[in-house]
Amino acid sequence: MANKKRRCTNCKSYKEAISGLLVPAGFFCDSKCAYEYGTKNTKKLLDKSKKDSQAKQKQRDKTKKERLKTASDYIKEAQVAVNKYIRIRDKYKPCVSCDNNREHKIALSGHRYDAGHYRSRGAASHLRFNVLNIRKQCVRCNRELSGNVVEFRKGLIAWLGADRVEQLENDNAPKKFTVDYLKRIKSIFTKKYKLYEKVFR
């Protein structure tokens, strides 16, 4: 009766079980095949270990960076998310101040248009995330003309109506932005942006 044949774990060829090498890692033709298999798998394990180590280090760095953030950092991140959302929300609308919809030269920020605040963040920081206070505005109106406020107001009235614009102008209730609130703002407007991005794709 012929000896039973087994498939080598390394080279996949068949060999008589009695003349092969059976170890916990599998069945091998000979010690050479066992060595080659061990070498290959050691490299895989080392690569996996290296990737796991890099992932853990990346997570540690992220956690450390998060701990070192100041309230100002959280405000900036939230503002970036809101502004990004405004630019895509108003993507097909003209500048609120000059009604211009031409392709302007890309500004230092990398955008042709800004998210302009009717009541500036400096004068009314409590309205910095209020989407009714923010509209797409060309770089010229927002930066060179310091917001072009008179024309901005006209554009807002056309969009919201005089009553709501007056409500914005009379809203002076102070607001304290906690870190949790700022994180929520960033999360919410990042999701809103992605939703609009899908719609406009």
Task: Note the pLDDT tens digit of each residue in 114-131.
Answer: 999 999 999 999 999 999
Q: What is the DSSP letter of 19?
A: G
| Complete DSSP assignment for 111-162 | -SEEEEESS-TTT-GGGTT-GGGEEEEEHIIIIITTT-HHHHHHHHHHHH-H
Confidence band for 44, pLDDT divided at 50, 70 and 90: confident
Both 120 and 171 in one domain: the answer is: yes
Instruction: Let me know: does 79 contact 182? Beta carbons within 8 Å.
Output: no
Both 102 and 196 in one domain: the answer is: yes
Structural domain count, the chain: 2
So what's the pLDDT on residue 40?
84
Both 120 and 187 in one domain: the answer is: yes
Q: How many other β-carbons are positioned within 10 Å of the β-carbon of residue 104?
A: 15
Both 46 and 101 in one domain: the answer is: no
- pTM of the predicted protein model: 0.67
Of 50, 66, 82, the residue that ends a domain is 66
Both 185 and 163 in one domain: the answer is: yes
Of 24, 39, 66, the residue that ends a domain is 66
CA 18 to chain centre: 59
Q: Which residue has the tokens 């069945």?
A: 27
Of 32, 66, 100, the residue that ends a domain is 66
Both 45 and 80 in one domain: the answer is: no
SS3 category, 12: coil
Range of the domain at 36: 5-66
Both 53 and 86 in one domain: the answer is: no
- What's the mean pLDDT in 193-198? 93
Instruction: Let me know: does 132 contact 168? Beta carbons within 8 Å.
Output: yes
Both 176 and 196 in one domain: the answer is: yes
DSSP H helices in the chain? 31-68, 71-89, 139, 149-160, 162-170, 179-200
Both 59 and 132 in one domain: the answer is: no
